[in-house]
Structure 1
Amino acid sequence: MSAQQQVIKIDDISEENAPAIYVAGGLGQFFDAVAAEVTAEVPDLTTRKGRERIASLAAKVSKSKTAVEKPGRDYLKRLKEMPKVVEAELRDFVNKMDALRDATRQPLTDWEQKELARTDAHVDAIQRIKDLVTFDQSPTAGHVANIIADLEQLEISESWEEFLADAAQAKDQTLIKLRTLHTERTRYEAEQAELIRLRAEAEAQAQRDRDAQIAREAAEAERQAAARREQELREQAAAAQRAAEQAARDAEVEAERQRLQLQLQAEQAERAAAQAEANRIAAEQRAEQERIAAEQRQAEAVEQARLAEVARQQAEANEAARQQREREADQAHKVKIMGAAKEALMSMNITEELAKAIVLKIARREVPNVTIHF
């Protein structure tokens, strides 16, 4: 590699110096320079600034690759007599630059994938809370009460991370909807119990009416038959009359028994309706109390999220200040070492300007096999 090649930078590549650059092994210096720059620092993935710095370094690799590849392609078109050498060198350079770019960005890519999986898990969990109000068919009040009890046991803690406020809001809103549904289903079931009681009373009255009609029809039929046979079979008619009267009494006794049974059923239905109404009132009172408590919990969750964000921003600021102090200390150390090297060269009767130029050239690694240890 000639001295001219050693001092050429990527931005200095031109048509004039292309023959000295695009040769076997000629692009290695540019790859080494870019690799040294992007691997000289290890940005902090835990901060936004660090992640943006990784993306910026990867973009710089791509830009440097293009800056070397494009003039090389142009030069290759002009040098038909050596296309295989240039093409092989460019292909190797491009592959290494692509691999370097991918390796440089890999920590950010891994972090983005983990971050997406983490946020998706929280979003899915919040959606499952919201889906608790969806039913394939109308649920019973007892089933809704069980879901409310289970959801009330769900803990909304710091494990929800930045989704804490969303999870708390989803839980509270879902509880409000479920309690409203529970109140509606309780009222509906009470209404159905009242309808059953009314139907039982109506059926009892209808049965009493049928029994009375049967008794009247039986008595009338018997009376008419007795009249027809009165002249011929008075004794038989009297006996038949007594039998008819007994049958009527038996029918009345049975009718009374059925009436009492239906009355008992109606009273039981009425008591069930009263209990359902009492349950509905108690449920409404609990729902109001839970609504107030939910508002308080939501306010507390929002405040906790705000305090967590303030702490995170302070941590990022502290880390940025620490890194700045380290860079300044490193720069001061390098200046001190290079100053000592310059003084040593000046002790050999070399001018300060020349000594400074030599030290800078060595620091930039432009002098083969000579380095400065910082």
Structure 2
Amino acid sequence: MSETTDLVVIEKANALSVFKSGDQIEEILQKVEREVMSFVPDVTTAKGRKEIASLAYKVAQTKTYLDGLGKDLVAELKEIPKLIDGNRRTVRERLDALKDKARKPLDDYEDEQERIKAEEQMTAWHAEALEMNEAFDKAMAERFESDHEIALLLNDKFDRDAAEAAAEAERQRIAHEEELKRQAVEQARQEAETAAQREREEAARREAELKAKAEQAERDRIAAQERAEREAREAQERTARLAQEAREQAEREKQAAIDAERQRAAKVEADRLAEEKRVADEAAKRASDVAHRKAVNNAAKADLVAAGLTEEQAITAITAIAKGAVTAIRITY
């Protein structure tokens, strides 16, 4: 769809490129100038005066149309940064959610691997403790059996000593087993704490990276917004300047047209007055000539009457002479 006036046609889709190009604006203005300059005004007829008013109205309509089209473009350009920021916010939120969704299987896998690793470590420590307990139990059993055989050969004192030794050995075995369990638990705790510390440090590092990226993105957004606002401001200023220049040029052209029209009207009026003066001068000259001829004819008539002719005969003679009907005789006025 295109917006039209009687003098200018601009496609809506091409309006921005037209207003960004001084050459295209100049071409449009020159076209209007050619229309105005090629028009031959005629104020002597009602039709001619109507055509003059119609042309002036078309030029004013073209000015209103072009100015309104530029105003609409400026309003649209002001909305562009808002649309860009809204779309950027949507992009960040949607892509952050998609990133988290895409990484979740890996995060779940890494968490599961850490859990499996800790569980395997605990299992290994428990198996090691069981092996150590079995070895210790075997050694104690062998020692106990040996002591028992000796005790059978010894007296009651040796029996009591052996029993005490076995009891001591049992206490040592239990204490050793408890120590191994405690060490295994302590080692598992330390390993788990170390892994947790590593995870916290890694999480802190990732959070710091995300924060740095977010801060950089915010700085980029602010810079882009400031740049867009600056460019919009500059475009608005350029548009305002061009509009002002166009208004000033139109005002100058309007004043020039008014001055030219005044000069033409003054010339027409001067020509009319000159023609009226010429007609009046000719009429006055004719009237003076008629009066002069009448005075000469009356003087000649009086002379003829004095010479003996009647007044009627004198008038007839003068009339015939004035008409050139009398040979070799004429009246000198």
Output the TM-score relative to the length of structure 2.
Answer: 0.44
Greater fraction of residues in helix: 2
Output the TM-score relative to the length of structure 1.
Answer: 0.41
